[in-house]
Amino acid sequence: MARVRVLIVEDSATVRNRLRDILAADAGTEVVGEAEDGKRAIELCRHLRPDVVTLDMMLPLMSGLATTEYIMAHHPTPILIVSSSVNRGELFKTYEALAAGAVDVLEKPRADEPDEDWERRFVATVKLVSRIRVITHLRARRGALEIARGDVPAAALGPHPFRRCDVVAMGASTGGPGALIEILRAIPAGNSVPILVVMHIGEPFGAAFAEWLDGQTPHPVRCASDDEPISAAAGRVVLAPPGRHMAVRSGRLKLAADPPRHSCRPSIDVLFESVAREFGAASAACLLTGMGRDGADGLLQIQRAGGVTIAQDEESSVVFGMPREAILRGAATHVLPLGEIGPALAALARPELRPALP
């Protein structure tokens, strides 16, 4: 089997040498190039055509974000961000890079983490990311997907025979930041239902995600608070906090540090299953791009309860893992490309946009 060809982009010689040594020690990976700034990274990516790029966010000459945008627009390559960024501004740049097409993010090793544990995670993530099919990312061409923040034209809704719902639930993983932005921008401001979201993004990178998303869409976005009434979330987007499951019970949002489901906490299944129990046929849910199978069983429960269920289609998914599992289970009432999911949910979220049932 061919080895995974890796381009390391890191301005610290110490860190760069460590990453090279880790990958060189694994029989399944090969370091084909190293760059200490974004400009050189682009040159090497063009000439070497690596299978994956490991990318620091804080680089000289061109930032990690600018490097990601250029690579994904002109030389699409799976990018794994390897970063120690923890302040608000740096985290925002990480989210922007993920929305611009970077596949995943991994925190640089902490002082309290055994070297062997981090090294295993790093190599495994590099191999996983290398297998992801990426395409020219229009979001990376500056302004290409700057959708106007306003009402969606009625013609864009299409003939979806959706009915009224009282809550919308969404789950996303790899490729999720960009997908969430596109969907939420397509739902007009002033929608009347809560939008509950589970996004797989680990700590510390999830710390400011809700704040960043709030600035990208026309909707107020915040993390959930334990035991708050679901009515307080009307017209808002509410995210599960990093490291906590989110569920709806007896009209209130509940947070818990219960064991992970499918190695995920928060888990999409936990949210979807609670929505099925609490709202039944008055619910809608969509399962977006991501690895694994979290959310597939929960989406099936919502479908069996009579709710509207949507899975993102393969062509528009960065990773067709979770949606595929849902489709195989027969859990998706509709399989839609990303560009149609927002308008479809808009028809559910605003009564005046809901088409009459046939």
Catalytically active residues, by annotation: 173, 200, 294
Cα–Cα distances in angstroms (integers) from residue 308 to residues 20, 271, 299, 302, in the given order: 48, 15, 9, 7
Buried b (16+ CB within 10 A) or exposed e, 167-205: bbbbbbbbbbbbbbbbbbbbbbeebebbbbbbbbbeeeb
Q: Are 156 and 182 in contact (CB under 8 A)?
A: no
Q: Are strands 334-336 and 308-312 parallel, antiparallel or unpaired?
A: parallel
Dist. CA 247–CA 2, nearest whole Å = 44
SS3 106: strand
Beta bridge partners of 168: 195, 284
C-alpha distances in angstroms, 179 versus 15, 121, 160, 185, 279?
A: 32, 26, 20, 10, 25
| Rg over CA atoms, the chain | 20
- How far apart are the two ends of the chain, measured CA to CA in Å? 54
Q: Is 336 exposed, middle or buried (0-12, 13-18, 19+ CB in 10 A)?
A: buried
- Please, are residues 45 and 91 in contact by the beta-carbon 8 Å criterion? no
Angle between helices 268-279 and 296-304 (to 10 degrees): 10
